[in-house]
Structure 1
């Protein structure tokens, strides 16, 4: 198989949703149907002890939430799939936004009982800005929910995207008979025992199931046929080019918890989702996927995925070329040459050494402190730099100090490694070198505190500072006498000077008094 044909087998996508819509559960089902795991887990699996494979962190298992993106590779038929399960909670949006820069498509999971929720809308808008193809899965049909027509209408009106219905529910909750599959021209039954053990029954030219089956006498089946006829006549046309531009979203219904409809969705997804394409550099130059030069960018750093070894993994999206162990690359930011010998890839809940990876694949580099989020690596002589990844300016701030002064070493090590992940920002006060943490949401502080204790045995005391406005200044404008309680002068972890202003009034007062000093939102 030549390189281009091999690249066509890659499907790299993120799963996005509002919290509790079923995002991690559908990830488990996709792993199960690929054969990567024998039994699908759930996010809240405390009684059975069987947790989701993508929720590897202790706090995720304890609290039943996803707080970090996780990457898994699986094989499905002839396809090599890279799945990224993202946090749904808005406090971890920055991790999700960066992850969306590293994928070629997105699966949007919607709770059929709730419809479009705020975080779903935000994440969709990020995908829309990048033109990422979106495949929609209306989840939780095993429960009673909203009318399917209302859900599709809301999808189009609120998100401003055209929808193409691939299958249609025949009832829901206790009266869920199955799916009327417009795309495959068949009916998929929840109770195949009612149809001589057949899971799928074909539709004739009139759009009906032939044969004498009890479910055909149900008004639910009749209503589904009428709805399907309406969709055929008044619905959007299927247009693969519009799908690839993110203008048309194929819509699937099903239940991730029971697995119903998930394999049908996966079969269609691998057929229609795009394979990796040429990436644009910061200079607006295209790097072909089959270039001889290995290139990629780091979109995530994660500490302690293996607590026994205190490792740190830098996740790289490969954009072109072929990775093989021992390849020499240049780190664009430092121009430093690095040999990539110690690498890994994640196969469900196991790790394997990456031996051959190409455009679209995501591999992990064991990092000793060389890499930062947003770094570009390249193997050739021509410098390549991919665009910068999104950064959020923190809004909430906490002073942090070790509870036990004898644990200073563990405290400093934990702080240093966890802030490199990019979810929490670290500052030091200019005069006293006190540690201050900045984040976009309160939950980030709770996770940070938990991980310091569990992963580094360092208990901390956090003192809230409330909301502050961070503004950076140039080094030549630095005057330590400008620091006050209203505009606290600090340095960030890259040693750049930054003011933490008490409020907008304090910012404006400072601007009026010091018009010669330029304030910026990010350094």
Structure 2
């Protein structure tokens, strides 16, 4: 018996500034694809529930995404791999890892706030990777900026030409529906209780739209249709019409107007992702050679996560399949060690929920259970050897020593610190002088320390005491210069688990002083979270 051909894949990340509605949109997309029966975010006072993609206790308590989460579901004969990413700058490194494992991105823009700093930084990562970006202007049901003003800001700030696929009927805060610029139709939506279920929609022919709005929503709605039609004509005159090649080349960005909370225009977004988002493409290896999607199996590990299930002390290595077919139980080679291991326990992930996977294809994200040798950025393969470019580690700017508060929990402390380091929750730095009992935790942002402390207490039963250090700048030091740098005043050299030596400085002025006095020293800058993520 011949297996049926696999469904076409779409692998997409959702990025934005905090509070723009990423997790809500992720849930809305799953709802419209019939992957869930009711959205997890119910926003009635006192009845808010955590979204499927936000499963950590801190995420539920704060209402923000702290860790990326993968969802996989079918829609219109396609398999969608959707990754909800953290928006907060302190977790930009996690988002950067996700963007190394997807084929395109949906950039969510708050209609009232426009492009915010973190949105711009995340887009810069997309630009560096050449990822096509589709823009969703969210929260159009609330008061906000003018639609044309938002388009001008997108083009001015990120350099992509906006090509709206829909245009709002009504100003921000008065969301009567959208004009579908491809068909000319009016699409109207009906609210549901709390936005927990799909919003019914009706499609009205262009010639009937004005009268329909006048009869069902009043004369002001009819005037809003006239204004939308005028805006559509203006956009066409300016050449702001969608072109697939320009979008795939990351020159233009298709734009949709929506309200994820009310489930308005979510169906249009899903259809657009199926119709326009790119399928998995050949992946360049460390030498720039392309590995075709139909070559031998290979995958890139972009995330390691433990603590998803308190009942099982397992950990999950998320891997993006780059080529070939994955079959559960197959023996694969770990490129870093050249050792083989079995993939007996492989799963697909839907937020926190996991199910076994028998077979997966390029573009899919799988979770390998208890593959403890795998680290972020590792490659696994069968057949022809391959190694994909490693995922960059950002330069930390915040440092603190960690000590266990109960000496009897030392073993749990050591195990927890090692796990957090392997996951990339924080970087763990050590030296002989400090010893293993007081490692230095290094982070891009201070909220990473809160996550680390909470997980050490909740998952490992080893509460820690964190004491801030005055360092703010880190530079990589060659092995043959470690002793020279370590002997300098107000400079400390510590080592990461990957063998890198990092020199820590109080501030940039001290770094510049050392560079002037010792020009022979090589102090290499690491990728900066503020610029790269």
Query: CA–CA distance in 1 between the matches of 2:476 and 2:173?
Result: 57
Pairwise mapping of residues 133-172 of structure 1 onto structure 2 (< 5 A)?
A: 133-172=132-171
Q: Determine whether 1:397 maps to 2:396.
A: no
Alignment of 1:230-309 (within 5 A): 230-291=234-295, 293-309=296-312
* Alignment RMSD (CA, Å): 2.6
Q: Which residue of 2 aligns with 1:117?
A: 116
Counterparts of residues 200-239 of structure 1 (less than 5 Å)? 200-204=203-207, 213-215=215-217, 217-218=219-220, 219-239=223-243
* Structure 1 residues 183 and 216: CA distance shift in structure 2, 3 A: farther
What is residue 474 of structure 2 aligned with on the other side?
470
Q: Look up the match of 1:88.
A: 87
| Residue 171 of structure 1: how far off its partner (Å) | 1.4
TM-score (norm 1): 0.92
What is the aligned partner in structure 2 of residue 6 from structure 1?
6
| Structure 1 residues without counterparts, runs of 5 or longer | none
In the superposition, relative to structure 1, how do residues 38 and 198 fare at CA in structure 2: closer, same or farther (>3 Å)? closer
Deviations 1:263-286 (A, max 9, x none): 112112211111111111111111
> Structure 1 CA distance, aligned partners of 2:173 and 2:291?
52
Structure 1 pair 282–75 and aligned structure 2 pair: CA distance change class (3 A) = same
Q: Which residue is 2:66 aligned to?
A: 67
What is the distance in 2 between the residues matched to 1:330 and 1:140?
46
Range 408-417 or range 73-82, more displaced? 408-417
Structure 1: how far apart are the matches of 2:2 and 2:75? 20
1:476 and 1:211 mapped to 2: Cα distance? 75
Deviation, 1:390, is 2.3
Partner of 2:47: 48
CA contact (8 A) 1:483 1:489 kept: no
Deviations 1:340-366 (A, max 9, x none): 111111135521111110100000111
1:317 corresponds, among 317, 320, 336, to: 320
Q: Secondary structure at the match of 1:494?
A: coil
Distance 2:149 2:387 in 1: 45
Query: Shift of residue 504 of structure 1?
Result: 3.0
Structure 2 CA distance for aligned equivalents of residues 273 and 3 of structure 1: 26
Deviation at 1:190, TM superposition (A): 3.1
The number of aligned residues is: 516
- Structure 2 length-normalised TM: 0.91
| CA deviation profile, 1:67-124 (whole Å, cap 9, x unmatched) | 1111110111201000000000011111101110110110011100111111111111
Match 2:375 to one of 369, 372, 377: 372
More deviation in 357-366 or 465-474? 465-474
Measure the CA separation in 1 of the matches of 2:517 and 2:232.
67
2-structure distance, mates of 1:152, 1:498: 43
2:259 and 2:265 in contact (8 A); partners too: yes
Any unmatched runs of 5+ in structure 2? 193-199, 528-533
> Which residue of structure 1 lines up, in the alignment, with residue 358 of structure 2?
355
